[in-house]
């Protein structure tokens, strides 16, 4: 049981080291809206990953081998990422409040969950990661259901905690961010997401 948990933690560390649109968006939201907003964003990522765990564990990897599934995921996912990127690119520069704090309306905090779920959920590389994990678990024929649970729990909890750590560190650095630098960060994140979305569509079209 402990060995399965440790293997899950190590795999979670590997997943957390991957730099992609989710990473940049998490950092951006923490710096711009605060740690609590980013924590809700991370909860959305956690739910998205948990859903992928359930789907892949119960056989969606067979569906992923079909051409139409890859096409739909690639085109739709790429378009959504580009949409998120464009929204960051067109966002206007805001002046920093005198108190140094950025107040977030409750409604906006609620949207953080959906945004985290969406950005992570439409990324096919995340799906491919969980498919590979499900394939790896299927090879461990000697594992009990408890060991499988510990393995997946180790991955999910590790990724979530590291996301919170990233958000916390980013928030601490936010005091160094001027409105101009924040504007540049938004543009950079937007360009990164447009790049990943365009790359996703290109790879889908060329395959």
pLDDT at 100 over 60: no
The tokens for 152 are 């997946």
Can you give the residue range of the structural domain that contains 73?
2-206
Query: What are the C-alpha distances in Å from 123 to residues 88, 100, 127, 187?
Result: 18, 34, 7, 20
Between CA 90 and CA 79 the distance in angstroms is 16
> Closest Cα partner for 41 from 152, 188, 163, 197?
163
Please say whether the dihedral angle defined by the alpha carbons of residues 177, 183, 186 and 190, taken in this order, is positive or negative.
negative
Confidence of residue 43 (pLDDT cuts 50, 70, 90): very high
pLDDT at 66 over 70: no
Confidence of residue 46 (pLDDT cuts 50, 70, 90): very high
CB of 85 within 8 A of CB of 197?
yes
Is the pTM for the entire model greater than 0.85?
A: no
Averaged pLDDT of the chain: 76
pLDDT higher for 138 or 69?
138
Number of domains in the chain: 1
Using only C-alpha atoms, what is the Rg of the chain?
A: 18
Task: Report CA 178 to chain centroid distance, whole Å.
Answer: 26
């Amino acid at each position: 049981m402990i060995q399965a948990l440790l293997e899950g933690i190590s795999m979670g560390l590997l997943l957390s080291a991957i730099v992609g649109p989710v990473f940049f968006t998490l950092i951006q939201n923490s710096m711009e809206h605060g740690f609590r907003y980013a924590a809700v964003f991370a909860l959305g990522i956690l739910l998205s990953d948990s859903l992928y765990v359930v789907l892949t564990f119960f056989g969606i990897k067979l569906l992923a081998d079909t051409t139409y599934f890859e096409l739909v995921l690639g085109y739709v996912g790429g378009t959504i990422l580009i949409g998120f990127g464009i929204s960051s690119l067109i966002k206007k520069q805001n002046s920093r409040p005198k108190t140094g704090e950025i107040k977030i309306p409750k409604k906006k905090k609620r949207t953080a969950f959906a945004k985290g779920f969406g950005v992570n959920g439409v990324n096919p590389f995340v799906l491919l990661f969980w498919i590979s994990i499900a394939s790896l678990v299927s090879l461990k024929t000697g594992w009990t259901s408890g060991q499988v649970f510990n393995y997946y729990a180790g991955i999910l909890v590790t990724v979530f905690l590291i996301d919170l750590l990233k958000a916390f560190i980013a928030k601490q650095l936010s005091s160094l961010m001027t409105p101009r630098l924040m504007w540049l960060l938004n543009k950079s994140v937007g360009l990164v997401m447009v790049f990943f979305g365009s790359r996703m569509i290109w790879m889908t079209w060329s395959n």
